[in-house]
Amino acid sequence: MLQLVVLISGTGSNLRALLEASEDAEFPARVVAIGADREADGLALGEEFGIPTFTVPFTAYPDREAWGDVLVEQVRHWQPDLVVLSGLMRLVPKAVVDAFSPFLINTHPAHLPEFPGPHGVRDALAAGVTETGASLIVVDDSVDGGPIIAQERVPVLPGDTESTLHERIKPVERRLLIQAVLDIANSHLDLKELSRR
Ligand code: GRF
């Protein structure tokens, strides 16, 4: 049974999809803890699904490195096989990457390497592209430049707002995430090998 710690900053809709998948006894992974860098709405999912949560408030630390060191401690406590960044709106410092990568993956609402960074949806809209995408990557020391695990194109439709486009992307992210967790749990995907390529 793959043990997951999921880190969020927002509503946690992608996390909800993982939690719902985990309700199936056949699903070979379990979310053992939910962490956040702020009082994220998605922490309420811990209550709903009976899963421990923790918060390491970014603003409570003098700098990113100090925050990252505490985050590593908190995540390590759960002895995860895989750490999933699912809407964590922070660049994690080197200590976090060193502690967990390549068993540290991130969902991104764009077709990387297109539109990296915190506003991938907004940037795609601003660029006027007719299609963007969803990507799942291994987190390394770069900004969204790690090895791509899976990605899929998503159309941009006339009249799209950041919100309508993002809501069209998220279900694709969830599907890629759940499939990747399945593949990792079933040894169909080797993150170490992927990261060596
Ligand atoms: C997702 O699109 C994720 O890729 C991005 O932020 C969004 C989080 O959405 N980093 P939610 O909190 O899972 O609803």
- Say which amino acid occupies 26: E
Q: 38: Cβ below 6 Å to ligand 1?
A: no
CB 33 within 8 A of CB 50: no
pLDDT on residue 39? 97
Task: Say yes or no to pLDDT of 197 above 90.
Answer: no
Task: Say yes or no to pLDDT of 20 above 90.
Answer: yes
Q: 46: Cβ below 6 Å to ligand 1?
A: no
Q: 86: Cβ below 6 Å to ligand 1?
A: yes
Fold of 2-111+134-153+174-192: Rossmann fold (3.40.50)
For 127, residues 6+ apart whose C-beta sits below 8 A from its C-beta are 115
* Model pLDDT for residues 118-172, shown as the tens digit of each residue: 999 999 999 999 999 999 999 999 999 999 999 999 999 999 999 999 999 999 9
- Over the chain, what is the mean pLDDT? 97
Calculate mean pLDDT across residues 65-69: 98
Joined tokens for residue 170:
């998220």
Task: Say yes or no to pLDDT of 112 above 90.
Answer: yes
Calculate mean pLDDT across residues 64-92: 97
Q: Tell me the C-alpha distance between 24 and 19, whole Å.
A: 9
Task: Say yes or no to pLDDT of 177 above 90.
Answer: yes
Instruction: Name which of 26, 25, 33, 28 is nearest 4 in CA terms.
Output: 33
Calculate mean pLDDT across residues 48-77: 98
Calculate mean pLDDT across residues 5-33: 96
The Cβ of residue 47 has, within 10 Å, a number of other Cβ atoms equal to 9
Q: Domain-by-domain residue ranges, the chain?
A: 2-111+134-153+174-192
